[in-house]
Structure formats: C-alpha cells, structure tokens
Amino acid sequence: MTHLLHLDSSARRASFSRELSARYAATWPGTRTYRDLAADPVPVIGEAWTEICDAVLAAGITDPAHYADLVESPRQQEAWSIVEPLLAELLEADVVLIGAPMYNFSIPAALKLWIDQVTFPRMSLRGKAFVIAGARGGTYAPGTPRAPFDHHERYLRDFIAGHYDVDDVRFVHAELTNALVDPHLAAREAERVASRAAALAAL
C-alpha cells in the first residue's frame, strides 16, 4: 500500500493552500502521515546539525540509513533526535504532498525549516513523487508581468528535482487569492474564482 506524507505550511488555518492539499489528501487510497509545519514548527538547524552534515559529506555516505552511525557528541545526539523522526516520515513516503503558499515571492519559513532539517549532501529521493498545492495573492503564471518574481515554484522545483533527484514534481496553484481583500484586485475576482476551481479540479 502506498504512503502519503502530507505537509501544510500556511500560517492561516483556513487557507487556500490547505484547502487544496486537503482535497488531494482526501482522495488518497493508501496510508497517510500528516504534519502541520506552521502549528508545530521544527527548530532552526544549529551547529551540531552542520557537524553531522559535514561528517556525512566527508564519509561519502549517500544512504540515509547510515547517517546515525556518524552521530557522536551529546550535542549531535540532540540535533539528531529532531532530524530522525522528520527524515523517517520523508523516507517512508511514496508521495510527498506540500501545501505551500507564496510568502514574499518565496516559500513560508516554516517549510524552509523542515527542508533544512531533512536535507543532507547527495541525498537522492528518486522514485518518490512530490505534489505542491500552492496559493499566491497575485498571479505569477508564465507570461504575466510578475512571472520573473516567482521564487516559489522555481525554488521548490529546482530544489526537489535538482538536489533530491526527483523526476515527478507537480504544481497546482490557486492564483489571485488577494482579490478577496485587496481593492486593487477586486476587478479580478472572477479570475480568482476560476483559478481556485481549476486547482481543485486538478487535484
């Protein structure tokens, strides 16, 4: 049976990215693990984490099952106690579903903290798939004036495909969500509604 790791990272409890990721998760036929990175944020990596990372790199270890063999000092043990359950959830998953709104042209800090904790040198996740359920206040679609400022999808796609060596990375976005609250975007409400409907249908 296939396993889904479902992550949410929006600071809003009733957010578009949460709505989208929940739609995908509701159709999942296998087992699931859920983690709310905003409600229960993971800590910032510290020096002990960097020591483990350096040891992994120096030893040329690419199999995460052997990372723990390099953990030595009490500080490193403490750092590893944070990494270990997060990494185990990631490795167990066949599909990783991430609810990720765009914040300031990029991803939420809560999501970046998780990425930092579970990422080590030359760590391949080939064979897994990633689905990103995104939401953006404006529109950053190709060909739009703000497309060059999209460091949200671009960062996640480059990182997941480039570092994790994952071929299957899919994005579904609800665009123009700020049309609900921003008077300057009020005239684009119909576009917002259509984008949300299309995203829900795609998921």
pLDDT at residue 164 in the model: 95
Smallest Cα–Cα separation from 63: which of 130, 126, 131? 126
**pLDDT < 50 regions, the chain:** none
Task: Flag whether 73 is marked binding.
Answer: no
Residue 84 lies in a domain: no
State the total domains in the chain: 1
Task: Flag whether 21 is marked binding.
Answer: no
Residue 109 lies in a domain: yes
- pTM, two decimals, is 0.95
As a dihedral over the C-alpha atoms of residue 124, residue 107, residue 10, residue 139, rounded to 10 degrees, the angle is -120
Contact by Cβ (8 Å): 127, 96: no
* DSSP state string for 50-61: HHHHHHHHHHT-
Task: Flag whether 104 is marked binding.
Answer: yes
Separation CA 68–CA 83 (nearest Å): 10
Residue 29 lies in a domain: yes
Q: What is the CATH number of the domain that holds 189?
A: 3.40.50.360
pLDDT at residue 1 in the model: 74
pLDDT at residue 149 in the model: 95
Residue 78 lies in a domain: no
- Sign of the torsion formed by the C-alpha atoms of 33, 203, 102 and 112: positive
81, two tokens: 């106690």
Exposed, middle or buried, 27 (CB in 10 Å: 0-12/13-18/19+)? exposed
Backbone angles phi, psi at 189, to 5 degrees: -60, -40
Residue 49 lies in a domain: no
Residue 32 lies in a domain: yes
- Name the CA radius of gyration of the chain, rounded: 18
Residue spans of beta strands (DSSP E) within the chain: 3-8, 31-36, 95-101, 129-135, 168-174
Task: Flag whether 81 is marked binding.
Answer: no
Residue whose entry in the numeric block shows the structure tokens 């809560």: 110
Residue 57 lies in a domain: no
Task: Flag whether 102 is marked binding.
Answer: yes
pLDDT per position as a tens digit, 1-52: 799 999 999 999 999 999 999 999 999 999 999 999 999 999 999 999 999 9
- In this structure, the number of other CB atoms found within 10 A of the CB of residue 166 comes to 19
103, two tokens: 């914040």
Q: Which DSSP letter does residue 177 get? A: G
**Whole domain around residue 194: which residue ranges?**
3-42+95-202
pLDDT at residue 156 in the model: 98
pLDDT at residue 29 in the model: 94
Residue 68 lies in a domain: no
**Average pLDDT in the chain:** 96
Task: Flag whether 105 is marked binding.
Answer: yes
Task: Flag whether 9 is marked binding.
Answer: no
